[in-house]
A = this chain, B = another copy of it.
């Protein structure tokens, strides 16, 4: 299913619940993909996301040099791929080819999105103030696209040691919300 545009100020709907994501990047003609569980929303508008990307990853330099990446949201059906990418070094392998993933052209960045993922959030490096000390990148989401269905995909949440938790029921507490967010 084709992804459709998603409001930039509401990227939190997909990332605030804390799913594992696949970060795709491109630099000097090479593509890479890494798994990431260490991220947080930082602001609605501009749409800011903080990501701790270990300097041991090939992706670290590719993202720092290009100043771009794509945060892709995989679902439960991609659990094997997520685990394998997290255990595979990027300097010897084209991960799109290796894992049968389809590169999808982006609107705002040169990196490719992953067509199989439920959503793709195109990012530009917004502030690298904490990269040297903490490997912490602050990105601005500059384009967001999400598949219209399912409305509530089962994403993956990494608990360490090769174990993930997937999503369960939606818990509706709208009646208790008097504030906007």
* Chain A residues within CB distance 8 Å of chain B: 10, 12-14, 16-19, 37-43, 48, 50-52, 76, 79-80, 82-84, 86-87, 127, 129-130, 133-134, 136, 138, 152, 154, 156-179, 181
- Are the CB atoms of A17 and B171 closer together than 8 Å? no
- Distance, CA A176 to CA B86, complexed state (A): 9
User: In the assembly, how many copies of this chain are there?
Assistant: 2
Pull 22 A–B residue pairs with CB atoms less than 8 Å apart, ordered by A.
A16-B18, A16-B157, A16-B159, A17-B37, A18-B157, A38-B40, A42-B134, A43-B134, A50-B50, A50-B134, A50-B136, A76-B171, A79-B173, A129-B130, A134-B138, A156-B171, A157-B157, A157-B167, A163-B170, A163-B174, A165-B169, A167-B167
CA distance A155 to B86 in the complex (A): 25
Closest to A82 in B: B173
* A171 in contact with B79 (CB, 8 Å): yes
Bound together, the chains give a CA A92 to CA B179 distance in angstroms of: 17
